[in-house]
Amino acid sequence: MNWFDDSIMARKGVARGKAGETYAITEESQGKYHYVYGAFVDPILRVDPGAVVSAETHDAFEGAIRHETDRPSEILNFPYLNPQNGPIWVNGAEKGDTLAVYIDSIVPRGPQPCGTTVIMPEFGGLVPTHDTALLTAPLPERVKKLHVDPVTGVKWNDRITLPYEPFIGTIGTAPEIEAISSLVPDYYGGNMDLPDVAPGAVIYLPVNTAGAYLYVGDCHAAQGDGELCGVAIEHPTVTTLKIDLIKGWTIKTPRLENDKFFMTIGSARPMEDATRQAYRELIRWMAADFGFDEIDAYMLLTQCGRVRLGNMVDPKYTMGASVLKSIVGSPR
Amino acid sequence: MNWFDDSIMARKGVARGKAGETYAITEESQGKYHYVYGAFVDPILRVDPGAVVSAETHDAFEGAIRHETDRPSEILNFPYLNPQNGPIWVNGAEKGDTLAVYIDSIVPRGPQPCGTTVIMPEFGGLVPTHDTALLTAPLPERVKKLHVDPVTGVKWNDRITLPYEPFIGTIGTAPEIEAISSLVPDYYGGNMDLPDVAPGAVIYLPVNTAGAYLYVGDCHAAQGDGELCGVAIEHPTVTTLKIDLIKGWTIKTPRLENDKFFMTIGSARPMEDATRQAYRELIRWMAADFGFDEIDAYMLLTQCGRVRLGNMVDPKYTMGASVLKSIVGSPR
Amino acid sequence: MNWFDDSIMARKGVARGKAGETYAITEESQGKYHYVYGAFVDPILRVDPGAVVSAETHDAFEGAIRHETDRPSEILNFPYLNPQNGPIWVNGAEKGDTLAVYIDSIVPRGPQPCGTTVIMPEFGGLVPTHDTALLTAPLPERVKKLHVDPVTGVKWNDRITLPYEPFIGTIGTAPEIEAISSLVPDYYGGNMDLPDVAPGAVIYLPVNTAGAYLYVGDCHAAQGDGELCGVAIEHPTVTTLKIDLIKGWTIKTPRLENDKFFMTIGSARPMEDATRQAYRELIRWMAADFGFDEIDAYMLLTQCGRVRLGNMVDPKYTMGASVLKSIVGSPR
Amino acid sequence: MNWFDDSIMARKGVARGKAGETYAITEESQGKYHYVYGAFVDPILRVDPGAVVSAETHDAFEGAIRHETDRPSEILNFPYLNPQNGPIWVNGAEKGDTLAVYIDSIVPRGPQPCGTTVIMPEFGGLVPTHDTALLTAPLPERVKKLHVDPVTGVKWNDRITLPYEPFIGTIGTAPEIEAISSLVPDYYGGNMDLPDVAPGAVIYLPVNTAGAYLYVGDCHAAQGDGELCGVAIEHPTVTTLKIDLIKGWTIKTPRLENDKFFMTIGSARPMEDATRQAYRELIRWMAADFGFDEIDAYMLLTQCGRVRLGNMVDPKYTMGASVLKSIVGSPR
């Protein structure tokens, strides 16, 4: 049996995780991309649970950085960054439910070199920023354009080629009353930049308002832990999602499931708080659904929990905490 | 000469800091209060620079906590907290300008005891929270209602009466494209909970979008540094503001001026980042307008800078950094 | 009545806070200064409670930075920084007791300009450091020598003179089994750089090992909150202390008392943890000795607590939390 | 060729990584274990580079917690925790050199159940602590004793058995002038609790003082990322190390090499600073020895760097940053 058939999505989803109607969001049908996560705009699409949606995502710069001689600080127009497809209204979704999104595939699109990474002022993990506000001069700006190929990988230089390991940098639902920049990760998802949000995984997202308002964008062709300089291998893609809805399952922050593990995701500063969020939710999950007493789960994760640093560069840092399915078994 | 006549507001404001037309926002005329800072709603008022606006503010709980036997966790309906008056559209305000708001007076209103403070779960500086997510059980909830009198002060108990030292907990402009919870402080102001935002001071706020969209609410009758348990002496008031506009003066975060000092305000986590933000802006201000070289300002503030902790309980911590006017003199 | 006569030192000290024998530690009698806080060296002095000790302190650079053309990075020899007088053995002091040290006076000594402040690489609150390890280039080094006069103040330049507000940057007892750099502040005191540790105050220090091993050094002629660039107005002094011993009073971190307030002192990173330490100890103190229930103290400090940022540049940040004597009254 | 033959230890070590004389440190020959990292005690052993040393390590509680009914808070005597073997003097080691320690094996010893983990007050990642000082009541204490078998693993309960994945929790050299608790991790190593410090790896440690003074202890039979509750599967072992010395190679913080990757290790609070330390050192290493320009290394690690959280419970958090050998190749 495929692990997915035993996933929470397949067992609890309104559509039982099965594919329903298919939809395509093209650049044209999307029209205006969005820079905030919120419910103040009209949905681009209304779907039933089970819908399979392919979206033409832009890179985080909406394609504006084309040449290695470009200067990001002159081209980019903050806060109009990290354009998002959507929002997608999911029929039947209400506050307190959970959206289950299976990531089916991510395929690069557009002319080569379609990958972009940059150094820009006041952004990144090892430079002064708006928050870690220091007096030292910024690093020189730099743009690197890279050939991205799903088979041969991401060509860094003549000597180094990185494997193509794509994932979704930004995905989430609308907050209940807010509209928050797509640069921010938080309890509703958003700009988590967590490499586990990859094809073959299911991400579970809290529904905060009727219809859920699912957004997606910002796919990365490769990224290390922390997205250190702030910019992964950004690239435009066709990203295909299967969307289901779990009624009456309320989660506080995003969760993830793949063939190997269950993960909870925290976003906060400082980084220990993101880690605490993730681990506390994992403990509570183990207590609620896997038959552990809370203290026992705390002690067990001390011995076998794993953490994955998503980003250490966005307005909140993102950390995933996970436990192997081989250890905790299946949830109720 | 009154210090105000030499203030930046008086010298640079479109209305030269002079009082113009007066307006009153009553509970009735406000109607629906707001829980986000954003430009997605219609202004309640459109005013010219110089406008003097009196607003009937609610307490942070919209008056819902009435008795010491109330349980906040049952009564309060997150995120519908910290109700705000406004927004006020300021004619002529455009992105890149600065709003200057002189705080004229804060007067308690409503039946006594009109002051409220509470302990509630997952909120406060010395308890586990959504961010600092720990496993230990919350403190018991507690509500304290207090008699607040502008003259005799805030009666804590038979032995202790605190002076009435009112200030505005939450004030700010709309972000450019976001709508952010009124519980959050950030570069546009918001829930800073900084006791220096008091009658007799001018707060300068960045204008991020046409009309500025000024919001105000959440007045406190007294508060210590950090707002330790998360809830100051909340009370409903009539708060009177004089609003002016400084064209072409662009600031990145709120600033404040009173008879004694100039202050810059940072909001971030961890707390050192809020402090860094505030101090860096103060240095840059001293370099831009007071004739210092940046390194000299850095060294001088090392010897005479002062910081004031606003809150250590909100989604971002707020810190003000200040320097005495007697040391730096007047800005250009 | 002088407030001191009602101080904890005067009421609980073995010597009742009264002056006993007097001692002088000169540069000559000190001989080798110390760079760690520990009990691995022989005391320079053994005194009874009540002893009044005058010590010739060095500046933090042991006088090595003499000219504005000096380059600190070439002259200073890490970790041989922040030289300390002592240790002083206090007869009768045992683990679990508390040392009470009244700061009688601080007087500058040495040829003028006797004040020094510097910018040096990898040190300071607004630059990359060993801990906040960034890639941007350091600021240029800079040395400033200043004339320090107890009456006329600290001459910054022709326009600015700062008041002489001296205090002890580094004071504390030996840890039980460790020997820790005098650059570090922690539960035993050390390099707190807190301006309230000034003439006219009593600092209470935990005794961690027999004899207490009191060290002192690093006096500042002026300092702003946070000691922003890392170096206050360092100057050599004659510092006079009255030392008493409180048997059987066990404190976890330093505390302070002056004519106006009681203060607890926390040292930690991030800064919110230093603040939490300080406030929690203050609450526990109010519960133990001032008749408050712990939650009531928590709620009251929310309304009237004050914090003072000592340093935001040392290996741990230091924060003092205080409450007015006029509010809490006298301890038991 | 075995990867070790091409390791830095084998290429640069005085002994070329080859095994020399063998030594055994038994409980008896060790006598008194140590609770600080420092050079204030006599070495237990003096060895030449190449020495192979087997040490009988205690568990972190020196075996004092024997039964699941024990109460750690009554039995443990802070700061006499985390007993260390050593110090070992390495002939020829001088400040500025680097110690290379190949971890040959870790074998459990002592009567079963030889594994111990506990919940104790004020310690752990998801509870209030001395630093994150909150008011909520501690979790109940709990002791768990576990059967540890190198082949069958660590028996958690009837359903769950964890693999035996032993590593060294605490290893390092003496600081130059300090003596620091073995509970602390820092630039000299110490209580890093990083699972990569495991058999088959080489750890490189800065020599800060003549002889290096190598200490080791605190082996864990299994541990998750972060050592969440503060106590891994502690167990007594025979741990065998091969010790070599690299003259004239100066490193600022510990580094590690195994068959797959090169790693740098940072210890700091908050957690982002530990991560920054680790990543900056990795970048500098790549620039110094692998032919990268610093900005290029920064951009490349953004795409392929990996981080491993050691501990989030000790006085400093520990983070390792690594890059695959398959990407960066061999150092000069």
pLDDT tens-digit profile of D183-220? 999 999 999 999 999 999 999 999 999 999 999 999 99
Mutate one of A132, A281, A284 to test the B interface: name it (highest B CB count within 10 A): A132
Residue type, position C332, single letter: R
Is residue D68 over pLDDT 90?
yes
D116 and D145 in contact (C-beta within 8 Å)? yes
> Cα–Cα distance between C183 and C194 in angstroms, integer?
13
C305 and B125 in contact (C-beta within 8 Å)? no
Mean pLDDT of the region B106-111: 97
Per CB-CB distance under 8 Å, the chain A contacts of B280 are 133-135
> Cα–Cα distance between D275 and D25 in angstroms, integer?
35
> Would you tell me how many other CB atoms lie within 10 Å of the CB of residue C11?
14
The torsion angle over the Cα atoms of residues D152, D154, D157 and D158, rounded to 10 degrees, is 0
Closest CB to C132 among A132, A138, A139: A132
How high is the pLDDT of residue B332?
Answer: 87
Q: Set out the domains of chain A in order of their start, with CATH numbers.
A: 3-251 (2.60.120.580), 257-328 (3.10.28.20)
CA distance A58 to chain C (A): 30
C96 and C207 in contact (C-beta within 8 Å)? yes
Spacing of C-alpha A68 from chain mean position: 27
> Cα–Cα distance between A121 and A139 in angstroms, integer?
7
Buried/exposed code over C13-39 (b: 16+ C-beta within 10 A; e: otherwise): bbbebeebeebebeeeebeebbbbbbb
Is residue A1 over pLDDT 80?
no
Secondary structure (3-state) at D165: coil
Q: Give the model confidence (pLDDT) of C38-93 as tens digits.
A: 999 999 999 999 999 999 999 999 999 999 999 999 999 999 999 999 999 999 99
> Would you tell me how many other CB atoms lie within 10 Å of the CB of residue C312?
26
> Cα–Cα distance between D198 and D221 in angstroms, integer?
10
For B36, residues 6+ apart whose C-beta sits below 8 A from its C-beta are: A177, A178, A179, B179, B180, B181, B182
Strands in C81-199 per DSSP E: 85-90, 98-108, 115-119, 142-146, 148-149, 153-155, 161-162, 167-172, 179-181, 185-186, 189-190
> Cα–Cα distance between A299 and D233 in angstroms, integer?
10
B282 and B321 in contact (C-beta within 8 Å)? yes
Is residue D22 over pLDDT 90?
yes
Alpha helices in D200-319 (DSSP H): 271-289, 294-304
Spacing of C-alpha B3 from chain mean position: 22
Share of chain C above pLDDT 70, in %: 100
Contact with chain A for residue D233, Cβ under 8 A: yes
Chain D neighbours (≥3 Cβ pairs under 8 A) are A, B, C
Contact with chain D for residue A79, Cβ under 8 A: no
DSSP conformation class of A276: H
Pairs of CB atoms within 8 A across B/D? 33
Q: Give the model confidence (pLDDT) of B210-264 as tens digits.
A: 999 999 999 999 999 999 999 999 999 999 999 999 999 999 999 999 999 999 9
Phi-psi region of A19 (alpha: psi -120 to 50; beta: other; left: phi over 0): beta
Closest C-alpha among D26, D18, D230 to residue D122 = D230
Mutate one of D131, D136, D313 to test the B interface: name it (highest B CB count within 10 A): D136
Contact with chain B for residue C305, Cβ under 8 A: yes
Residue B102 has phi, psi (to 5 degrees) of -85, 125
| Position C198 confidence tier, pLDDT thresholds 50, 70, 90 | very high
Q: Give the model confidence (pLDDT) of D208-256 as tens digits.
A: 999 999 999 999 999 999 999 999 999 999 999 999 999 999 999 999 9
Share of chain A above pLDDT 90, in %: 99
> Cα–Cα distance between D165 and A262 in angstroms, integer?
21
Does ipTM exceed 0.95? yes
B278: number of CA atoms within 13 Å, CB side? 36
Query: What residues does B242 pair with on adjacent strands?
Result: B52, B102
Residue of C nearest to D135 (CA): C280
The torsion angle over the Cα atoms of residues C308, C311, C312 and C313, rounded to 10 degrees, is 180
For A66, residues 6+ apart whose C-beta sits below 8 A from its C-beta are: A145
| Position C224 confidence tier, pLDDT thresholds 50, 70, 90 | very high
CB-CB under 8 Å, B134 with D136 = yes
Contact with chain D for residue C42, Cβ under 8 A: no
Per CB-CB distance under 8 Å, the chain A contacts of D229 are 298-299, 302
Mutate one of B37, B269, B272, B307 to test the A interface: name it (highest A CB count within 10 A): B269
The H or E element spanning position A57 is: strand A52-57
Residue C207 has phi, psi (to 5 degrees) of -90, 120
Cα separations in angstroms, B90 against B175, B241, D224: 15, 13, 56
> Cα–Cα distance between C267 and D87 in angstroms, integer?
30
Closest C-alpha among D313, D81, D163 to residue A298 = D313
CB-CB under 8 Å, C231 with B156 = no
Mutate one of B272, B292, B296, B328 to test the C interface: name it (highest C CB count within 10 A): B272
Spacing of C-alpha B326 from chain mean position: 25
Q: Are strands A167-172 and D261-268 parallel, antiparallel or unpaired?
A: unpaired
- DSSP letters for B103-157: EEEEEE-SSSS-EEEEE-TT-STTS--SSS---SPPPPPEEEEE-EETTTEEE-S
How high is the pLDDT of residue B98?
Answer: 98
Straight-line distance from the first to the last Cα atom of chain B, in angstroms, rounded to the nearest whole number:
18
Residue of A nearest to D140 (CA): A295
Per CB-CB distance under 8 Å, the chain A contacts of C126 are 133-135
D17 and D102 in contact (C-beta within 8 Å)? yes
Contact with chain A for residue C126, Cβ under 8 A: yes
Contact with chain B for residue A181, Cβ under 8 A: yes
Cα separations in angstroms, C326 against A84, C217, C291, C295: 57, 32, 15, 20
Per CB-CB distance under 8 Å, the chain D contacts of C301 are none
Q: Give the model confidence (pLDDT) of D101-141 as tens digits.
A: 999 999 999 999 999 999 999 999 999 999 999 999 999 99
Pairs of CB atoms within 8 A across C/D? 92
- Whether the ω angle into residue A49 lies within 30 degrees of 0, i.e. cis, is no
A48: number of CA atoms within 13 Å, CB side? 9
How high is the pLDDT of residue D332?
Answer: 87
Q: Are strands B85-90 and B45-47 parallel, antiparallel or unpaired?
A: parallel
- For C:134-173, CB contacts with A below 8 A are 134-139
DSSP conformation class of D309: E
Closest C-alpha among D123, D121, D125 to residue D139 = D121
> Would you tell me how many other CB atoms lie within 10 Å of the CB of residue D28?
7
Is residue C332 over pLDDT 90?
no
Chain C neighbours (≥3 Cβ pairs under 8 A) are A, B, D
Average pLDDT, chain A: 98
Closest C-alpha among A198, A201, A83, A69 to residue A145 = A69
Average pLDDT, chain D: 98
Share of chain D above pLDDT 70, in %: 100
Query: What residues does D204 pair with on adjacent strands?
Result: D100, D255
CB-CB under 8 Å, B178 with A276 = no
| Position C152 confidence tier, pLDDT thresholds 50, 70, 90 | very high
Q: Give the model confidence (pLDDT) of A303-317 as tens digits.
A: 999 999 999 999 999
Residue C55 has phi, psi (to 5 degrees) of -125, 135
CA distance D225 to chain C (A): 21
Phi-psi region of B106 (alpha: psi -120 to 50; beta: other; left: phi over 0): beta
Per CB-CB distance under 8 Å, the chain C contacts of B230 are 302
Chain A neighbours (≥3 Cβ pairs under 8 A) are B, C, D
Q: Give the model confidence (pLDDT) of B159-211 as tens digits.
A: 999 999 999 999 999 999 999 999 999 999 999 999 999 999 999 999 999 99
Mutate one of D122, D129, D131, D135 to test the B interface: name it (highest B CB count within 10 A): D135
C282 and C321 in contact (C-beta within 8 Å)? yes
Residue of D nearest to A128 (CA): D276
CB-CB under 8 Å, A303 with D156 = yes
Per CB-CB distance under 8 Å, the chain D contacts of C270 are 269-270
Sheet of strand D153-155, all strands in order from the earlier edge strand to the far edge: D148-149, D153-155, D161-162
- For C:11-40, CB contacts with B below 8 A are none
Per CB-CB distance under 8 Å, the chain B contacts of A283 are 135
> Cα–Cα distance between A184 and B23 in angstroms, integer?
37
> Cα–Cα distance between B170 and B165 in angstroms, integer?
16
Closest CB to B271 among C229, C275, C280: C275
Query: Radius of gyration (Cα) for chain D, nearest Å?
Result: 19
Burial class (CB in 10 A: 0-12, 13-18, 19+), B325: middle
Is residue A96 over pLDDT 80?
yes
Share of chain C above pLDDT 90, in %: 99
CB-CB under 8 Å, C36 with D178 = yes
Buried/exposed code over B90-113 (b: 16+ C-beta within 10 A; e: otherwise): beebeeebbbbbbbeebebeeeeb
DSSP conformation class of D9: H
How high is the pLDDT of residue A52?
Answer: 98
CB-CB under 8 Å, B305 with C224 = yes
CA distance C327 to chain A (A): 35
How high is the pLDDT of residue A332?
Answer: 87
| Position D289 confidence tier, pLDDT thresholds 50, 70, 90 | very high
Residue type, position B98, single letter: T
Contact with chain C for residue B224, Cβ under 8 A: yes
How high is the pLDDT of residue A51?
Answer: 98
Sheet of strand A185-186, all strands in order from the earlier edge strand to the far edge: A45-47, A85-90, A214-220, A167-172, A189-190, A185-186
